[in-house]
Amino acid sequence: MRKVVVLVLSLLPAVLVPQAFAVIDITVTEGVEQPLPVAVVPFGWSGPADSQPIFMESTIGNDLARSGRFAPMEAKDMPQTPTEFAAVNFKDWRMLGMQNVVIGSLRETGPDSYEVEFRLLNSFNGSQLAGFRVPATRKQLRRTAHRIADIVFEKLTGVRGAFDTRIAYVTVKKTGSNSRYSLQIADADGFNPQVLLESDEPLLSPAWAPDGKRLAYVSFEGRTTSVYVQDIITGQRQKVAANPGINSAPAFSPDGRRLALTLSMGGDPEIYVLNLETRGLYQVTHDRSIDTEPSWSPDGSRIAFTSDRGGGPQIYEASAQGGPAQRLSFEGSYNARPRYAPDGRSIAVVHGRDRRYQIGVFAPGQGGLEILSKSRLDESPSFAPNGSMIIYTTVGARGSELAAVSTDGHVHQRLALQDGEVREPAWGPFLSGQ
């Protein structure tokens, strides 16, 4: 009898509890789109304050902010500035709703020898999402910061970061009646510019090879236009197209073996594809109007280009093997210089309207076009390899300047670091090895 009673009593809670405390179900079907809060805490530094080689947190924070996806917290708002894991008070960060906290330190380990340590922490559960400790020379420190920003970006957005990448562009310095053209590459944030080539004749249209080791460009050396491919590290270059008439607008195929370009040797400018290994050449477009500014689709199957065959410049597309072209842009009367987004779903263009030229993005077949830039004369859009940003030129106080906009149009930034005008920026590929 007692056994039965005990059994019944022991069964009671099991039977009654779920009934009494049934779990409420709530479905969240909406969200907000806003920059992600992130706190990049000032890195610790082992040496004297005036000898600190870099403020890692600034470079990382700027990278993240420039992407438009992040809203870095200001240092003065931070509840604490820990530089190591044990010193982090997760509760403090949690109270502020700050989930993502980056901490780290920089130590001098010898002459021109440093050690960088960083951790990306999730304050909501006290876990570490990412972290590393690497040695670096003074020159490598900035790149290390970009790598950290990349890791944070990827961990928090699911998209590979593109801060540790480079851009190529042409600068023009005018002295009297002479102009000095310079082909340069720099870090994606505009730092560490490096001159690859200087010329008194115009240099145009730098284009990255997918391996990030070569650049194609157009040079007016010898008063004729020629297309060159140059090795960035060795400086060795090769003239790959020097046909009668125009040789311009080179674009590497995604496999890096071919070059699409505009040649007018047939009379009017047409799109051609040049095989860099065999030197074989074939024509993609066949139209009496101007066809130029080719851009490969990421899968290498199609080539988009600008053509005025319809009267004004619009974006068309043809098979990379050649064949009939198909019009892609229908918004407005001026759309030129197409660049495929890395995911192939949208195309950035220079969109002209009411005598203003701005950077726009449209998805072929979807209709509509979104204007991303704000100025009157914005040119030469180029996607970051992760598609999160577009770099372009705009007209500023000193003439043409570098500018960047996040692909969602939220964050605009000028990269006015160079002397003189900047033209035709090209965002390089991911650097190998991540």
Shortest distance in whole angstroms from residue 99 CB to other proteins = 4
Shortest distance in whole angstroms from residue 153 CB to other proteins = 10
What count of other Cβ atoms lies within 10 Å of the Cβ of residue 107?
Answer: 16
What count of other Cβ atoms lies within 10 Å of the Cβ of residue 223?
Answer: 6
Number of chain residues interacting with other proteins (CB under 8 A): 31
Nearer to other proteins, 27 or 175 (CB): 27
Shortest distance in whole angstroms from residue 357 CB to other proteins = 28
Interacting positions 380-419 with other proteins (CB under 8 A):
388, 408
Contact between 23 and other proteins (CB under 8 A)? yes
Contact between 28 and other proteins (CB under 8 A)? yes
Please count the CA atoms within 13 angstroms of the CA of 353 that sit on its side-chain side: 16
Nearer to other proteins, 36 or 417 (CB): 36
Is the separation of the CB atoms in 138 and 74 below 8 Å? no
Task: Report the alpha-carbon distance of residue 68 to residue 269 in Å, rounded.
Answer: 38
Interacting positions 66-95 with other proteins (CB under 8 A):
69, 94
426: DSSP letter: E
Q: And the tokens for 96?
A: 């502020």
Interacting positions 3-22 with other proteins (CB under 8 A):
20-22
Shortest distance in whole angstroms from residue 34 CB to other proteins = 6
Binding other proteins (rule: CB under 8 A), the pick from 31, 110, 222, 311 is 31
Strand runs (DSSP E) across 258-332, as ranges?
Answer: 258-263, 270-275, 281-283, 291-296, 302-307, 314-319, 326-327
Interacting positions 153-192 with other proteins (CB under 8 A):
155-159
10: DSSP letter: H
Binding mask 119-148 for other proteins (x = CB under 8 A): ---x-xx-----------------------
- In the chain the first and final C-alpha atoms are separated, in Å, by 72
State the virtual CA torsion across 190, 192, 198, 200 in degrees, nearest 10.
40
Binding other proteins (rule: CB under 8 A), the pick from 4, 5, 24, 86 is 24
Crossing angle for the helix pair 56-66 and 141-157, nearest 10 degrees?
40
Binding other proteins (rule: CB under 8 A), the pick from 59, 99, 264, 297 is 99
Binding other proteins (rule: CB under 8 A), the pick from 10, 29, 51, 432 is 29
- List contacts with other proteins (CB under 8 A): 20-36, 69, 94, 97, 99, 122, 124-125, 155-159, 388, 408
